[in-house]
Structure 1
Amino acid sequence: MTMDDIIDFVEGLGDVLTLRPAPGDGSPEISWGDTFFYYAPDRIVPDRTQPFATIVTKNYPGDESSGLYRAGAFRVNIRAGKEAFIEATGRAPREQGVADLDAGAPDTVIAHPVYGSLAWLAVIDPGARTGEVTRELLCRAHTMARSRYERRSESTPG
């Protein structure tokens, strides 16, 4: 899977706002080249929420274990939820040792090296082994984001 394959797939899920920070748009330089996905039917970045998935193309400070310094390497990060996280890793998100797996292993579903304890999963360079599960996890993350959006919309006085 390429980054464009993933972006096209996620955008096809519906009501997705895709942010692709770039020079000159006011975004922090460190985010340039990365991609952030929000459930946003109104096309406005939701307040007080994180994206439901991201694609990063470089190591961030404190998050160097994935080895994204390699040319063309990228990591898909997915807010999987506890159930999907346990299915993928065999451990609860906050369980000791959940980040023990090789965070730099390509085409492998792993606990996110920084946000694993919050039930985020990651896949570096998804390929033949992880393409289908990556799509399934992205669908689940989108569904959960839509549910959160709808709950917030229902509870907001209007």
Structure 2
Amino acid sequence: MDVDEVIDQVAALEGVLTLRPQPGDGSPEISWGDAFFYYAPDGQVPNGQPFATVVTKAYPDEEAPWLDRPGTFRLNIAVGRDAMATVLGQDADRVPEAGAPDTLVAHPVYGDLGWVAVTNPGERAGERALTLVRSAHARARARRQRRDGGAQD
């Protein structure tokens, strides 16, 4: 899968608001070219974190120089702290080779907060990653419905 295919699949989920920062929109330059996915059927950015992101470069708080190679991106997914061991199984504590493509791992910075990541998802981890995105979307939707008092969107 290329970055546009991943972004299109996540953005197509019901009620998803996709933010794609770019020059001139007031967003920080570091975020340009990336994508942030929220469950927001009203089109308003909710308080809190997105349920998934796609990044195309390393951010200042992480060491990921491989992300600066052309065509390289990372899909990040909020699976929740309780699900980390189940999602990653015996690999939960394994530190992957830096930038190993198509390998589902704990997020290099936010793993302790229940985030997983996959660089250039493909044949090995792509479908699993998209399944995890759909689950993260469902959890975000359920949180929104609880916050709104159970109202359907």
Is TM-score (shorter-chain normalized) higher than 0.5? yes
* Structural mapping, 1:48-87, within 5 Å: 49-65=48-64, 67-87=66-86
Distance of aligned partners of 1:148 and 1:31 in 2 relative to their CA distance in 1, 3 Å threshold: same
**% identical equivalent positions:** 55
* Structural mapping, 1:15-34, within 5 Å: 15-34=15-34
Distance of aligned partners of 1:14 and 1:24 in 2 relative to their CA distance in 1, 3 Å threshold: same
Number of residue equivalences? 150
Q: Which sections of structure 2, spanning at least 5 residues, go unmatched? A: none
| Among 109, 115, 134, the residue aligned to 2:110 | 115
* Structural mapping, 1:5-44, within 5 Å: 5-44=5-44
Distance of aligned partners of 1:66 and 1:101 in 2 relative to their CA distance in 1, 3 Å threshold: farther
Runs of 4+ in 1 over 4 A off after TM superposition: none
1:18-50 per-residue CA deviation (whole Å, 9 max, x = no partner) reads: 000000000000000000000001000002x10
Q: Distance in 2 between matches of 1:81 and 1:92?
A: 16
Cα RMSD of the aligned pairs, angstroms, is 1.9
2:114 alignment partner AA: A
Secondary structure in 1 matching 2:41: coil
Kept in 2, the 8 Å contact 1:20–1:33? The answer is: yes
Q: Distance in 2 between matches of 1:138 and 1:103?
A: 23
Kept in 2, the 8 Å contact 1:67–1:104? The answer is: yes
Q: Which sections of structure 1, spanning at least 5 residues, go unmatched? A: none
Q: Distance in 2 between matches of 1:105 and 1:92?
A: 14
Secondary structure in 1 matching 2:60: coil
Kept in 1, the 8 Å contact 2:38–2:51? The answer is: yes
Deviation (angstroms), 1:17: 0.2
Deviation (angstroms), 1:9: 1.1
| Among 113, 125, 134, the residue aligned to 1:139 | 134
Name the residue aligned to 2:147.
152
Deviation (angstroms), 1:83: 4.7
Kept in 2, the 8 Å contact 1:79–1:120? The answer is: yes
Q: TM-score, normalised by structure 2?
A: 0.90
Secondary structure in 2 matching 1:50: coil
Q: Distance in 1 between matches of 2:4 and 2:50?
A: 18
Kept in 2, the 8 Å contact 1:84–1:137? The answer is: no
